[in-house]
Amino acid sequence: MTDAKTQIQETITANNVVLFMKGNKTMPQCGFSSRVAGVLNYMNVDYTDVNVLADEELRQGIKDFSDWPTIPQLYVKGEFVGGCDIITEMMLSGELDTLLEDNGVAFDKDAADKIREANG
């Protein structure tokens, strides 16, 4: 797992926002990955997607790295934020906006507000 751990660390260090997911941002391969990617895409967040289905060592490695059993997993500025349920809750409460703002990550605030209006 050393190779996967090194790859994960380098990826989250080199990119402001990283989503480890099943599939990719344009073609998610599971509903949970699709939901998180959909939120980030709609909010115009610039993020790096990592398809864990392409590499079994990476797929298990990210779970071990974060000590989190499920995928997708979102990282902002090298810090693990959470999976689908946590990101959904943070989106709806406005906490995701705050997290992105506090870390200098650009996003479309109007789009974030529209998501909350549609789900309110």
**Low-confidence spans in the chain with pLDDT less than 70:** 1-2
State how far the alpha carbon of 53 is from the alpha carbons of 3, 43, 75, in Å: 16, 25, 18
| pLDDT value for 1 | 47
Question: pTM to 2 decimals?
Answer: 0.95
∠ at Cα 57 (52, 62), nearest 5°?
60
Question: Measured between alpha carbons, how far apart are the two ends of the chain, in Å?
Answer: 42
Residues across the chain: 120
Strands 27-28 and 23-24: antiparallel
Q: Mind listing the domains of the chain with CATH numbers?
A: 2-119 (3.40.30.10)
Tell me if 30 is assigned to a ligand binding site.
yes
The amino acid sitting at 31 is G
Q: What is the average pLDDT score of the chain?
A: 96
| pLDDT value for 15 | 98
Strands 17-21 and 48-51: parallel
| pLDDT value for 120 | 77
Q: How many CB atoms lie within 10 A of CB 73?
A: 27
CA distance 11 to 8: 5
